[in-house]
Amino acid sequence: MKLNEETIKKYSEDVELSKELLYQGLHNALSKIDRNTEIFINTFPRPSSVNGIYPGILNGGEWDDWTSGFWTGILWLAYEITKDEKYRKIAEFQLRGYKERIIAKNAVDHHDLGFLYIPSAVAQYKTTTCEEAKITGIMAAEHLITRFRGKGEFIQAWGELDSPDNYRLIIDCNLNIPLLFWASEVTGDKKYREIGEKHINTASRTVVREDGSTFHTYYFDKETGNPLKGSTAQGNSDNSTWARGQAWGMYGFPLAYRYLKNKKFVELYKKVTNYFLNKLPEDSVCYWDLSFDDTSGEEKDTSAAAIAVCGILEMSENLNNNDENKKIYMNAAKDIMKSLIEKYTTKNMKESNGLLKEAVYSKPHRMGVNECCIWGDYFYMEALVRFLKPDFKIYW
C-alpha cells in the first residue's frame, strides 16, 4: 500500500523554548518527584491519579499493572539530570521486585514487558552496567518472545495465546520491541532481534492507514495469519485515530530505525507525524482522539503530547539538515513542550503528586479521564532531560 504524506500546515515559524522555561519545568517536576520518593519505595503509583493523586500499589502479590516501570524510570531520569544518589538508591532497590516478578511470572502474560523492564532494569544496566539488571531485562525479553505468533508474524498483545478474539497486535507494542533489540545486542543471540523485526514489519504493513493515521489494534486470521481488520480498544471508534496510538507510532518507528537502520521507518515516521501535527488544536496539545477539535468539549491527552515530543526529538537526530521538514518538526516539538510546561503541569495543584495533568488513560473504559498518568509523567520528564542534556543516552 502506498501511503500518503500530508503537508504540515503549521509550525514553519521558529519557536523559542528557553532554557529558563525548561529549568522551571524541571524544578517543578523534581519537587513533585521528591515528595514521591518518600511514598513510592516499596509501592508504585497506580497508572492514573484519582483527583490528581496517585494511589499506591504494593510491590508484591497484587503488583499486576503494566506501568510500574515508569516510576522507576522517572527516578533514573531524575538521577541522570541531577546526579543525586537518593534517586538512584530507590531505583536500584526496586530492581529486586522486577526480578522476582519475572521469575514468578506474576502478571507478565501480555506484550507490555518493554514498558515494565526498559525504564527499570534496562535503564539501570545502561546507567550502571549492573549485571543483575542485565539478566533481569534478558529474562523479560525471553518471556516477551513467547507471545510471538508465527501465523501473521506478530507479538500478541493481550489475553490467552491464540484465542481468536485476541489474535491481534497493537501499536503500543512499538515501544516494547526495543527490549528485544537490546537483548540481542547484550547477548549476541539474534533471535530476539529477528522476532522484533518481524513484529515491527507486520505492524508497519497493517496499523498505518493510507493517509498516515493509525489503527490502535489489528486482527489476524489465526489459521492463515492473513491480516483481517483494524479496530480500537482505547480510541473513539475503529476508524478514528486514538491520539496516544499515533504517538506510540511517532516514537516507535524512530526507535525501530535506531536499531534496524531501515529507511522505511523514517518514511513511516514522517507520515504518522505529519498527520498528527495537522490534527493539533490551537495550543498544540492533542485531544485524546485526533477526531476531536477545540469545539468538541472532549478532554486532552497530555501523555500523548509528551510521547510525541520524545518521538520528534528521537528522529530529529537522523534527518538531514536539508530535509525541509526537519525545522518544522523541531518547531512543533518545542511548541508542544512549551504548552505542556506553561499550561499543563500540576504546579498549582498543591495536593497532586503527578507531574502532568489532563491525561486520559482510556475514555471508552472510563479509566483515568482528565487525570495524571504515570507514563505521561515519565515521557514529560524524558522530554525535559532530552532538551536539557542532548547527549543523554536514552533507555529504549
Residue from 46, 149, 199, 244 touching ligand GLY (CB under 6 A): that is 244
Residue entry with cell 472532549? 298
- What is the DSSP secondary-structure string of 267-295? HHHHHHHHHHHHT--TTS--BSBTT--TT
Minimum distance, C-beta of residue 234 to ligand GLY, in the bound complex (Å): 6
> Over the range 284-296, which residues count as b (16 or more CB within 10 Å of their CB) and which as e?
bbbbbbbbbeeee
CB of 67 to ligand GLY, least distance (A): 8
Active-site residue identified among 84, 112, 293, 391: 112
Is the Cβ of residue 281 or residue 364 nearer to ligand GLY in the bound state? Answer: 364
Q: Among 172, 289, 335, 377, which one carries the catalytic annotation?
A: 172
- Helices marked H in the chain — which ranges? 19-37, 68-82, 85-104, 113-117, 123-128, 131-144, 178-187, 191-206, 243-260, 264-278, 302-316, 326-343, 374-388
Phi, psi of 129 (to 5 degrees): 60, 25
In whole angstroms, what is the distance from residue 170 CA to residue 166 CA?
11
Active site annotation includes 109: no
| Neighbouring residues of 374: CB distance < 8 A, sequence distance ≥ 6 | 45, 46, 47, 48, 54, 67, 70, 71, 74, 354
Nearer to ligand GLY, 171 or 319 (CB): 171
Is residue 289 at the binding interface for ligand GLY, with CB under 6 A as the rule?
A: no
Least distance from C-beta 172 to ligand GLY, angstroms? 4
State whether the Cα torsion 256-258-259-260 is positive or negative. Answer: positive
Query: Is-contact 300 358, C-beta < 8 A?
Result: yes
215 contacts: CB under 8 Å, gap ≥ 6: 171, 206, 207, 209, 230, 231, 232, 238, 245
The span from the CA of 11 to the CA of 79, in Å, is 33
Judged by beta carbon, residue 172 or residue 335, the one nearer ligand GLY is: 172
Binding mask 169-208 for ligand GLY (x = CB under 6 A): ---x------------------------------------
The residues in 2-41 that bind ligand GLY, with binding defined as CB under 6 A, are none
Nearer to ligand GLY, 47 or 196 (CB): 47
* Residue among 97 and 249 whose Cβ is closer to ligand GLY: 249
> 211 to 240, contacts with ligand GLY by CB under 6 A?
234
CB of 244 to ligand GLY, least distance (A): 5
Residue placing its CB nearer to ligand GLY in the complex, 244 or 279: 244
Site size toward ligand GLY (CB under 6 A) is: 3
Residues 369, 373, 376, 378, Cα dihedral to 10°: 180
Residue with the CB atom nearest ligand GLY in the bound state: 172
Q: Is 391 a catalytic residue?
A: no
Q: How far is the CB of 122 from ligand GLY (least distance, A)?
A: 18
| Distance in Å, CB of 186 to ligand GLY, minimum | 25
- The catalytic site residues sit at 112, 172
Instruction: Give the binding site for ligand GLY (CB under 6 A).
Output: 172, 234, 244
